[in-house]
Structure 1
Amino acid sequence: MLYFKELNKNNVDQDYLDEDITVENNNQLESCIKSGVCIKARNVFIKGNVEQSNIIASSVFVEGQTHSRSEIKASSVYIKHCKGSVIADCVFIETLEGGVIKAKKVYVDICGSGKIIADFIYIGKCLSYNELYAKQYLVFEEVEGNMNTFEINPEKFLHEINSKNFFQKQLMLEQLNSKLKYVIEQLDEAKAYIVNNCHNIYKIKNLNKKNIVYKRNIELYNRALTKYQNQFNKYKDVVKLFYVVNTQVDSVLNMAFNGKIILKKYNKGTDNLIKFTIIGKKNRDYRYILKNDYCKVFYLQNRKKPNLRFHTDLNQEDLLWIEKIKKCF
C-alpha cells in the first residue's frame, strides 16, 4: 500500500498497476488529486476531492467530490459526491450531480441532472433533469423533481456500447436467412428425386442385372441420398447458428418487453416521462407522464400489439439485486 497526501503532475511519474494507493488530505479546502493527473493502479482509495483527472483501476473509493471533467474507469466504484464521468461494472454514489455513469449496475442515493446508462439502475431520491436509461430494471423510491426521463431504450445501448457488433449480427442474420433458403431448396430437390425414384431403384436392385443403365440410375440415386444427408447436416448447423444470432438480435430489438420501470413510493414532480422504445424499420415509443402516481410497476405487454401497462403489486424478486449492490460496498 502506497500513501500520499496528494497526487499532482510532479509526483506521479509511473503506473502503479500492482499497487494499492491511498491518498488522504485532511485539509478540506485542498484536493487530493490535482488537475491533469492520470493514475493507473490496482486499487485506489481517495479521502478527499478529485480535480480534473483520469483514474483507471480495479476498484476506486472516493470519500469526497469529483470534478465535472474527471474520468474514472474501474470494475467497482464508490463516490460520495460525483460530478464527473464513470465507466464501471458496479457503481455506488451517494449524490450524483450532473455526472455521467455507464455501467452494469448503479445505485444512487440522490440524483440530480445526471445521465445514467446501465442494465440495472436504482435511485433513492430523484431530483430534476435526469436522463436514466436502463436495460432491465429502473427502480426509484421517490421523484421530487421535474423534467426527468426514465427509459427502456435499446438505441441508447447501441450508441454507447458495442453497436458495431450488433449491426454485424444483423447482417449475419440476413446472410444466414439467405443460406437457409438455399439449403432448403437443395434438400427439397434431393428429397423429390429420392421419393420419385425409390420404387424404381428397389425394383432394379431386386433384378440383380448387370445393366449399364441400371447401374447409372443406382449411382444417381445414391448421390441424391448423399446430397440429402450432407444438406441436412448443413441445415442443422445453419438453423443452430441462426437461432443463436437471432436470439441475440431479438434480445436487443425487443429489450423493452424484458425491462421494468418501478416507482416504489411517490411522484411529486411534473413532466416526468416514462418511455419504452421498440426499434426496427420504424421505431415505436410508448409513453406515460407521471402525475400523482404511487407504487407502480410499468412494463410493455403483447409483442404483436404492444401496449404500456402498469400494476401496483411489487414483486420482491424484482428488487433483490439492489441489496446485492449495497453489500458490495
Structure 2
Amino acid sequence: NTLDFDILEIQTYTRVNKDRTNADWEEISVEEMHKLDDASMLLNENFQIKQEYEVEIFTKEDDNVFKNLHAAIGANATKCKIYLSIKAGSEIVAHPNFEEDFLRYINKSKIRAGILVNIFDEMVKDVVSKISALAKVGGNIKYDKNQTILIADAYEPTATINDDFIVHYDKKSPASNGDKVDYAKRGFIHSVLEGDIVMEYIKPKKGKPGRNCRGEFLEPAEPEIKNIPDFNVDNTIEVIDNKDSILYRARVSGYIAQEAKVYQIKTDMDVGEISFKTTGSVFTGLDSDVAISVKENDSLKDAIGTGMEVEVSEIDIKGNVGPNAKVHAKRATVEGQTHRDSQMIADDLTINIHKGVAVGDNIKINRLEGGTVDGKKVEISQAVGGNIRAKEVEIGLCGSHVKVTASRLIEIQKLQGSENVFTIDPLVQKDKKDGLSENKHEIEQLRISVDEIKKEVDKYKKLVKDNSASFNEVKQRLLHYKKNGIKMPASFVTKYKQFNKIQEHLENIMQEYNVKNDKLLLLATKTVSFQDNIVDARIINRDRWVGHNELIFKLVDPPVQLVYKPKEGSHDKIFAIVETEDGVFEIQAVHK
C-alpha cells in the first residue's frame, strides 16, 4: 500500500504452440501490434500471448495528482470486458500532461490486475481525451455517483447449450412468494389447442471460443446430453425438426395422452368421478374440443365432488354435482341432481333435477327444485319453487312459489300451485339494462350540449343579422378600392375579416347542432324501442288459474310496474300489455 511504480518498458510475446511443443516466444514490436487485431489468429487455440513489464518501484508520493481518484479495475465473469470503476466522491484535477499521466494511471491499474496493455483497448485514447477535456473546462471533475467506463473489450465466447426437453403443455407453475399450493388444481388433464407447441427438444450445441483481456484462450465446454427423446408420437402431433430444436406441434385440439411410449392427442375421456382424491379440478378450456364423461351414477355419491371446478368443451355427468362445485362448458348434461350450492354454466345445458345455479343460452331442466336459472331460452318440465330469468320460458307443470322473469314470453302448460309471480321485463338481461342506462346518460349529456349550442347559434344569428348592412357597405367599398387600384384602409379590411370569421363560426356551430340533434333523435327512438318490446311480450297459461298468482309487466318509459292477479278458476289464457284509447297501459287478456 505504500509503494507505487512507473512503467519503463512493455514487451509483448506471441507463439503458435501446436501439439504443445513449447515453441519459442517471439517478441512483437510496437509497430507490429496492429497484427494482433486478426480474429482468426486470436481465436486459434494454439496461439499464445504474454507480456513482460520493466518497472521502477518507489515509495508513494503524498502530492500524487490522482490521490483523490478512488478507482478500481473490474471485469465480467470471462474477463473479456474490463471496466474502470470510479467511486462517488472521487475528484480529478486538471494539470499539465494530464492525458499522458491519466493513460499511465489506467495502464498501471491494468498491470496490477493482470490485464494486457495496448491490446483490446482501442477505446482508451477516446476515454482519456474526453475526461481530459472535461477537466480542463472546469479545472476539475467531481463524481457525485459511481461511474463505470469500458477500457478493454476482447472476444467474448459463445456459451455452450446443453440439451433440454421442455414440456409446454404442462402449464402449471410452482407456488412462489409464499403462496400455498392448491392441490385441487394439480392438472389431471393437460389440454392443447390446434397449432400449440406441445413439447420441445433443445438440441445440444457447443459454444464458440473466445480470448479474454488477459490473453487467455477460452475453450467452450462440451455440451451435456441428458434429455434425448425416447418416445414416439402418433399423427395427432406434428414433428418439426430444425437446426436448433425439435418441435412437437398439435395437429388437433384436445388433451395429451400417453400410452406406453407414445404421445397422442385425444378428445374423449371417461372418468369414474372428478374429486379431490382422484383427479382434482379439471381445466382444459372451452375451445379445447375435450369431451368428458363422468360415469359415477350412485345416488349416494357425487360424480363432481365438493369444491371441484371443471372447465371443458363438453361434459356428460351421469350422477350428481356436489356442493360448491363449478362446471363450465359449451355443452353439459347432468343425469343426477345439482346441489343448491353448485354452479353450472354452459351454452347448451340439460339437467335432470336442479337445485343450484344454472347459467346458459339454451337450458332444459326436467325438475326445478328451488334452484336459480339464468338463460336465454329455458324449458322446464316441472317447477317446484325456484327463480327463472330468461328471454323465453316454457314450463310444463308449474307448482308453487315459482318466480319467472322474461323479456318476451312466459308459457305454462299446466298450473297446479299458487303464490307464483310471472314478470315481463324488457330489461331482464344485464346487457339490455346496461344499454338503457348508457342510452339515458348519453341522451342527458346530449340534451345539455344541444341546448348550449342552440343558445350560441341564436346569439351569432342575431350578430350576423344586426351587422349585415354595415358588412355589405364595407364589402362594396373594398370592391371599389380594388377596382380603382386604391390602397384599402386597414380598418375596413379588419372589419371584413372579422365578419367573415363570425359567419364561418356560425356555419360550424350550426353543423354541430344539426349532427348532435340528429343523434339525440336517434337515441330517443332507441329508448322507445325498449318500450315497444313489452307490447309484443306475452304471459300464457294453457290451464285454468288456481290459487293466488301475480302477473307483472314493467314499462321502461315511464318506469312503471303494472300488476294483475288472475281470478281463481279463470280460463283467460293469454295476457299482454295494451294501450287504451286514453293512452293508458293496462294488462288485459288477449286472443293471440
Indicate which of 316, 319, 339 corresponds to 1:45.
Answer: 316
Deviation at 1:54, TM superposition (A): 0.7
| 1:15 is the counterpart of 2:287 | no
Q: Which residue of 2 aligns with 1:277?
A: 554
Indicate which of 366, 376, 379 corresponds to 1:104.
Answer: 376
Deviation at 1:300, TM superposition (A): 4.1
Q: Deviations over 1:46-72 (max 9, x none)?
A: 122222211112221222221111101
What amino acid is the match of 2:360? A
Deviation at 1:214, TM superposition (A): 3.5
User: Percent of pairs identical after alignment?
Assistant: 20
What amino acid is the match of 1:195? K
Q: What is the aligned residue count?
A: 310
Contact 1:65–1:83 (CA<8 Å) still a contact in 2? yes
| 1:195 is the counterpart of 2:460 | no
SS of residue paired to 1:95: strand
Q: 1:224 to 1:141 in 2, by over 3 A?
A: farther
| 1:175 is the counterpart of 2:442 | no
| 1:185 is the counterpart of 2:455 | yes
| 1:75 is the counterpart of 2:347 | yes
Deviation at 1:90, TM superposition (A): 2.2
Name the CA distance, whole Å, in 1 between partners of 2:522 and 2:276.
50
Query: Which ranges of structure 1 fall in alignment gaps of 5 or more residues?
Result: 315-329
SS of residue paired to 2:573: strand
Name the CA distance, whole Å, in 2 between partners of 1:86 and 1:231.
53
Contact 2:364–2:378 (CA<8 Å) still a contact in 1? yes
Name the CA distance, whole Å, in 2 between partners of 1:257 and 1:164.
17
Name the CA distance, whole Å, in 2 between partners of 1:255 and 1:64.
41
Q: CA RMSD in A?
A: 2.9
Q: 1:256 to 1:163 in 2, by over 3 A?
A: closer
| 1:235 is the counterpart of 2:498 | no
Q: Which residue of 2 aligns with 1:130?
A: 402
Q: Which residue of 1 aligns with 2:565?
A: 289
Q: Which residue of 1 aligns with 2:411?
A: 139
TM-score by length of 1: 0.82
What amino acid is the match of 1:313? H
Deviation at 1:124, TM superposition (A): 2.4
Name the CA distance, whole Å, in 2 between partners of 1:304 and 1:33.
58
Contact 2:297–2:320 (CA<8 Å) still a contact in 1? no
Q: Which residue of 2 aligns with 1:267?
A: 544
Q: 1:170 to 1:96 in 2, by over 3 A?
A: same
Indicate which of 268, 272, 286 corresponds to 1:5.
Answer: 272
| 1:66 is the counterpart of 2:338 | yes
Name the CA distance, whole Å, in 1 between partners of 2:345 and 2:299.
25
The structure having more radius of gyration, on CA atoms, is 2
Q: Which residue of 2 aligns with 1:312?
A: 590
Name the CA distance, whole Å, in 1 between partners of 2:563 and 2:435.
29
SS of residue paired to 1:32: strand
SS of residue paired to 2:312: strand
Q: Deviations over 1:171-193 (max 9, x none)?
A: 34322221111111112222222
Q: 1:228 to 1:303 in 2, by over 3 A?
A: farther
Contact 1:261–1:297 (CA<8 Å) still a contact in 2? yes
The structure with higher relative contact order (CA 8 Å, sep 6+) is: 1
Name the CA distance, whole Å, in 1 between partners of 2:521 and 2:292.
47
Contact 1:152–1:255 (CA<8 Å) still a contact in 2? no
Name the CA distance, whole Å, in 1 between partners of 2:582 and 2:342.
45
Deviation at 1:195, TM superposition (A): 3.4
Name the CA distance, whole Å, in 2 between partners of 1:151 and 1:259.
14
Deviation at 1:289, TM superposition (A): 0.8
Deviation at 1:85, TM superposition (A): 0.7
Q: Deviations over 1:205-235 (max 9, x none)?
A: 3341434443333223211222122213322
Q: 1:203 to 1:293 in 2, by over 3 A?
A: farther
Name the CA distance, whole Å, in 2 between partners of 1:259 and 1:143.
23
What amino acid is the match of 1:80? N
